[in-house]
Amino acid sequence: MPNPNELTPDNSALVLIDEQPGIALLTQSIDKTLLINNVAALAKVAHALEVPTVLTTIDAHGAVANPIFPEITDVFTDLEPIDRHMTNAWADPEVRAAIETTGRRKLVMAGIQTEVCLAQTALSALRDGYEVFYVSDCSAGSTPEAHQDAKDRMLKAGGSPINWVAVTAEWAPDHAVSQVNELLEVRSQRAGAGAMWANLNVASAAALAG
């Protein structure tokens, strides 16, 4: 049965912008452990469903090394983050080319800081006719107010706010997909209270397999 949702693995791409420890240290809008948990979950789901993904960093190889979260590179072992020096990733030709190569017009975006690199990139993509779904709980601002202001600005420009669990549910609404066990494992490890439901399903699947 066709996926009736707006986001599917076949019509969207994931863009993770500057999910780096050195930048996360500058943020206060979300607990950093929770941020990493959420980003790792989103990355694992995208990888399991073979959603085209673009990773970007900013000044990762400067005087102080600031690579992307290892929780992301542990998932995308063959995908090299594109490093750049401009806050707006959309202005970087290599990043633009990587996104265009996916052939997708719906972009699921997350990044830090929300009010700088994510907002600039998302607003530019919207101006160029792309649809942007910004994952608010995989992004972080310097303050809660800055994070909210940036979300409001992207919303006003036509972007759509979403969280990682909602993205997962839209990408895989059918629990009979072949990757269901991988997705249940992600939710059982990363979905907080929602993990209780996933753990019941994991146990049921194991019982049926046994």
Instruction: Show which residues are catalytic.
Output: 117
Continuous H helices in 49-177? 70-73, 93-102, 119-127, 144-156, 164-171
CA distance 208 to 210: 5
Residue whose tokens read 């080319």: 97
In eight-state DSSP terms, residue 68 is P
Give the amino acid at 205.
Answer: A
* 17, 56 Cβ separation under 8 angstroms: yes
Residue whose tokens read 């996104």: 99
Rg of the chain over Cα atoms, rounded to whole angstroms, equals: 17
What torsion, rounded to 10 degrees, do the Cα atoms 165, 107, 124, 117 define?
50
Residue whose tokens read 């590179």: 73
